[in-house]
Amino acid sequence: MKFNIKYLYLILGLIVVGLIGYFVVAREVDKSKTNRMPDDEIHKNLSQKQFQQMSKEIQAKIDSLKEVVKQNPNDTIALNHLGYFLLQEHKFDEAEMYFENLLKINPKRIDVLNVLAEMNFNLQKFDKSENYLKKLISLEKDNEVAQYNLGVVYLMQGKKAEAKKVWNDLVKKNPNSELSKMAKESMQALQ
């Protein structure tokens, strides 16, 4: 069997991306514990005073939405907005709680399942990400993005056989799609 160096680079690339993601998320979680402005492209032109003002405005919206949800726990619009504002403030556990409440009311919200799967993947909570992706796929069996991402989650969990199976199924369903091509490359890299 001939070994192709590009697969080694692909595997190394996946490992590097995973490590970078881990360290970025860990740093963001640490930053969320303080009320300091992040040092990134989005915030670089804001003064600390502007950032604190924005943070106060977001917190006021969060407080207002919490009051709306308290008065009407079935208000899916308020639950959705509250979840997104909490994500913006890096309050991931609280955001997940409100998104979960929304899913109890409407378990077929693909957008919410997607957000929760991505958020938990970025937080290195692969079991949770896996569960959200499986729910999403059960609702949309032809969702190639969710299928590919489930393979990535399996790979991050060390479940290479499951990743390969998911990607293989994706390739069989739609062999000419862009995600199918990515799945083929990912499977080849596992060899």
**Which of 139, 133, 118 lies closest to 166 in space, CA to CA?**
133
The answer to whether residue 38 is domain-embedded is no
The answer to whether residue 143 is domain-embedded is yes
- Rounded distance between C-alpha atoms, residue 165 and residue 168, angstroms: 5
Beta-strand ranges (E) seen in 23-123 are none
The answer to whether residue 11 is domain-embedded is no
Place 44 in a pLDDT band, splitting at 50, 70 and 90: low
Place 56 in a pLDDT band, splitting at 50, 70 and 90: confident
- How many CB atoms are located within 10 Å of the residue 85 CB? 20
Place 119 in a pLDDT band, splitting at 50, 70 and 90: very high
Is residue 151 pLDDT above 70, yes or no? yes
* Per-residue model confidence (pLDDT) at position 48: 61
- Rounded distance between C-alpha atoms, residue 57 and residue 51, angstroms: 10
Confirm if 79 and 102 have CB atoms less than 8 A apart: yes
What CATH number has the domain bearing residue 162? 1.25.40.10
Domain boundary among 37, 71, 106: 106
Query: Does 129 lie in the same domain as 66?
Result: no
Average pLDDT over residues 157-181: 92
The answer to whether residue 131 is domain-embedded is yes
State the total domains in the chain: 2
The answer to whether residue 119 is domain-embedded is yes
Domain hosting residue 152, numbered range: 114-191
Is residue 159 pLDDT above 90, yes or no? yes
Beta-strand ranges (E) seen in the chain are none
The answer to whether residue 60 is domain-embedded is yes
What pTM does this model have?
Answer: 0.71
The answer to whether residue 35 is domain-embedded is no
**Which of 80, 77, 120 lies closest to 100 in space, CA to CA?**
80
